[in-house]
Amino acid sequence: MLFFVNTDIVFAESDSIDIKLIVFENTSIIEFTNNGIEPINIIKLWLIDDSFLSFKTEFGWTGEKNNQGTLIFSPSTPFESDQKVKFGIKTSESNSPINWNAVGVNGTSIEINTTQSLTDRSILDKNFITTGFLDNSKFKTIPESPRTASPIRITGTDFMANQQFTLFMNGVLIDSFETDDVGSFIFTETIPDTFEPGIITYGIRDLYGNEILRDGHLLESVESYLTKASLTVDDISVSYSIGDVVSFSGKTEPESYVSIIMSDPSDSLWSKVNTISDISGNWFLDFKITQKSFFGTYTAEIKSLDSFITKQLNVLLSKQINVSSMKPSFSKNDIISFNGSGNPGDLIRVFVLNSNGIQENSFEYIIPENGLIKIEYDYASFISDKTYFLYIFQGNTVDIIPFGIDKHPKKILSSKLNKINYLYDDVAFVAIHGESLDELLLIISDDSGNSVLEEKIILGPEGKSTYQIDLTNLNSDYYFIIISKGTMKTTENFTVGFPVGFHFVDYSFTKKFYHPHDLVSLYGYTSPKIPMNFTLYDSKSNIIDKTESFSNDNGNFIIDNFKIPTIPNSGEWMINIQSGTNSKNIFFNVDSDKFFVVEISEIQKTPYGKLVLITGKNASPENPVSVTISNKNSTEIWEMPTTSTNDGDFSVLWPVPKDAPSGEYLVESRDFDSKYSSVFFEI
């Protein structure tokens, strides 16, 4: 993503070339305008200290860095009079003077000059903006709970200035609008009369597909409201904890009987309370969440005279943590950061799952005295264009955050058990994330495939829910929990009542040496049907990851979700295996020396199609490098040969053919010494 604020800008004019330079920290955008009559065939850029780090070109131009540190840009057709082109350049030093040379088609120099930012002005270059949102972009609706077919006012602040946006309600396009010079907007729309009362989702979407969503509550239309009975129920909170009191209130006919029938998550009657409205028709009833309450979604049916209204609320077993992401998706230059709060002194366990439900990373730590939670990850730990889920467990509560890498997260069904190995006195539950108000089927089956439980679950307005598993009805065994909707499903396994401890552990690794980003695959054999905890330590005894597993009927176990970090400590690493008081340490080697790698650095959408930037490092210096791209079935293969720099870096730009189908593609690369690397990506 490139957008710049608080930048320096400078203009240089001559008879032949106009220069516009925009500088933000270590990044410069330099725009050339050909004012002469002679076409330009090459533009060269160089610095005194050779501090170029990276560069970007517009479509139709290619760029390379030669051995002298000069950037050489060439157009696919000569750069004619009155044409403009921009280059993005990152340097190790801020505001470095940039030398440039424009060369004509006959090889003669048209102009040589130097340019550097001199002034301090604020500017936005729209040609390099890939989002209409800023970090603090927000909007609200007035009123917060409108009625169907009624007017509503939409206001927003801290957006990109003078940008086009569209307004959606429940996924329906309502209107388009533009922000003013300071990035604000205010306008009035009418709620469509086709919308039903209930949850309404407002969406503000920019021209680049980015989106901010906000849920609200839609009331019935004025006409419908006036014709119905007079019973009303005021809004209540969405979530409550053990010990909280739910305060119901509203209006009905004066001195009328009001009752609330409360059903627990299994639709069993939990409580029934009654009251009489006062002479003005006001009524009040309290319901306390007791220690015996199950957690999950409760339904309250409020009745008075011939009218009834239904309300739903979520019950948690302890105070809820609250964590949110800085953005719904993250790009290469972002810090993947999550912030929130929880109970000071409590232990939290954090898990990252990919879209296939596989655990990518986990760790745990004690929340500090200020109650603040801050979680950060390295971009290199993830795969571009993929969706991930962050699960944060604090005691018997959980928060779930979906996030995307280089694009918005997909709406995928995801689930995570709070543990894998349970004793009978444990609280066992599964956290679920899907679409708002989804109806799901939950099945628990034993090792023989026999179903021991089937139940329907309805997700909350935010697409989240938790389901408590009654362990007392399960035998000592291992089980599968399957959550599904149509073709989407998640599957996890867990154990109940396994005895702890082992007499021996036999194991083997799939590799002798592991490198950054490698998955550590550990196969082993031990006592049958025992729970096991695995902890990964680096060569300096730092805890890198933890996971749970168990051995099957034959004593076999597999661990394959430990991942070597981007910048690991070389040397002898250790995995500690523990079951009860029994423990065993096993060792393997990690080599963080330079290794050959190819990766997808960026996927850009342009008016001419998609461009995929493929980069690599640690190839044989200044030698040919083969790069091939194939689709999932290897029926189409594109070859993109290139040459590495003296540092072993290389890059190629693949213009995606317009007829290339969406889906998964494979990049394979091999250098002059036959070192091999590959990476998958999606378009």
CA atoms within 13 A on the CB side of 76: 5
Looking at residues 53-72, what average pLDDT do you find? 80
- Would you state the CATH architecture of domain 413-497? Sandwich (2.60)
What is the C-alpha to C-alpha distance for residues 327 and 335, in angstroms, rounded to an integer? 10
For residue 491, the model assigns a pLDDT of: 93
Cis before residue 143, ω within 30 degrees of 0? yes
Exposure letters 539-572 (e unless 16+ CB within 10 A, then b): beeeebbbbbbbbeeebebebebbbbbeebeeee
- Of these ranges, 254-263, 286-295, 351-360, 563-572, the one predicted with the greatest mean pLDDT is 351-360
Question: Looking at residue 528, what DSSP letter applies?
Answer: S
Question: Which of 413, 375, 411, 412 is closest to 393 using CA atoms?
Answer: 375
Distance CA 107, CA 504 (A): 75
Distance from C-alpha of 318 to C-alpha of 418, rounded to nearest angstrom? 14
pLDDT-above-70 percentage for the chain: 90
Q: What is the pLDDT of residue 255?
A: 80
CATH 3.40.50.10420, domain 597-682, yes or no: no
* Cβ 490 vs Cβ 482: under 8 Å: yes
Q: Is 607 helix (H, G, I), strand (E, B) or coil?
A: coil
Neighbours of 106 (CB within 10 A): 8
Residue 229: pLDDT above 50? no
Q: Where are the domains of the chain?
A: 8-127, 130-222, 229-316, 327-410, 413-497, 505-580, 597-682
Neighbours of 652 (CB within 10 A): 19
Task: Give the pLDDT mean for 423-429.
Answer: 90
Would you state the pLDDT for residue 50?
64
Residue 25 has a pLDDT of 65
Per-position DSSP letters for 488-525, written without gaps between them: EEEEEEEEESPPP--S-EEEEES-SEE-TT-EEEEEEE
- Residues 219 and 225: beta-carbon distance below 8 Å: yes
Q: pLDDT digit string (tens) for 97-138?
A: 888 888 888 888 888 888 875 433 333 343 445 678 887 888
Fold (CATH) for 8-127: Immunoglobulin-like (2.60.40)
What is the 8-class DSSP label of residue 503?
Answer: S
Let me know if domain 327-410 sits in CATH 1.10.1840.10: no
Q: What is the pLDDT at residue 390?
A: 96
Would 327-410 and 597-682 be classified into the same CATH topology? yes
- Decide: residue 329, CB within 10 A, 0-12 exposed, 13-18 middle, 19+ buried: buried
Range with the lowest mean pLDDT among 26-40, 86-100, 281-295, 410-424? 281-295
- Please give the structure tokens belonging to residue 525: 């054999």
How far is 565 from 563, CA to CA, in rounded Å? 6
Provide DSSP, 222-235: HHHHHHS-S-EE--
Q: Note if the pTM is more than 0.95.
A: no
Closest CA to 588 of 527, 633, 524: 524
* Per-residue confidence (pLDDT) for residue 448, from 0 to 100: 86
Which pLDDT score, from 0 to 100, does residue 126 have? 38
Written as six digits, the tokens of 324 are: 């949110």
371 or 375, greater pLDDT: 375
Q: What is the pLDDT of residues 470-512, one digit of tens each?
A: 898 899 999 999 999 988 999 999 999 999 999 899 999 877 7
pLDDT tier, 531 (very low <50, low <70, confident <90, very high otherwise): very high
Query: Any idea which of 119-123, 243-247, 286-290, 576-580 has the lowest mean pLDDT?
Result: 119-123
Find out whether 231 and 250 touch, Cβ atoms under 8 Å: yes
Are 653 and 574 a contacting pair, CB within 8 Å? no
Report the percent of the chain where pLDDT is more than 90: 26
Distance CA 97, CA 45 (A): 10
CATH classification code of 505-580: 2.60.40.1930
Strand partners, 490: 483
Confidence of residue 272 (pLDDT cuts 50, 70, 90): confident
pLDDT at 186: 83
The residue among 51 and 644 whose pLDDT is bigger is: 644
| Residue 536 confidence (pLDDT) | 95
- How far apart CA 535 and CA 551 sit, in angstroms, is 16
Look at the block and give the residue holding tokens 């003669």.
108
Using DSSP's 3-state secondary structure scheme, residue 237 falls into: coil
Q: How far apart are CA 138 and CA 129, in angstroms?
A: 19
The mean pLDDT of 534-554, rounded to a whole number, is 93
Which architecture characterizes domain 229-316 according to CATH? Sandwich (2.60)
- Can you read off the two tokens belonging to residue 409? 């997260």
Q: Give the position of tokens 């479509």.
A: 59
Distance CA 616, CA 599 (A): 6
Q: Is 23 exposed, middle or buried (0-12, 13-18, 19+ CB in 10 A)?
A: buried
- DSSP-assigned states of every residue in 245-275: EEEEEEE-STT-EEEEEEE-TTS-EEEEEEE
- Look at residue 451 in the predicted model and tell me its pLDDT: 92
State residue 475's pLDDT score.
Answer: 92
β-pair type (531-537, 505-509)? unpaired
CB burial class (10 A; 0-12, 13-18, 19+) of residue 391? Answer: buried
Q: What sign does the dihedral 603-604-608-609 (CA atoms) show?
A: positive
Find the mean pLDDT for residues 316-340.
Answer: 80
Alpha carbon distances (Å) from 505 to 577, 589, 603: 9, 19, 46
For 586-640, write each residue's pLDDT tens digit.
999 887 766 788 888 888 887 778 899 999 888 888 889 999 998 877 677 889 8
- CATH code that applies to domain 130-222: 2.60.40.1930
Which residue is it, tokens 């979520």? 314
Q: Output DSSP code: residue 77.
A: S
**Spacing of C-alpha 202 from chain mean position:** 20
Q: From CA 8, how far away is CA 13, in angstroms rounded? A: 17
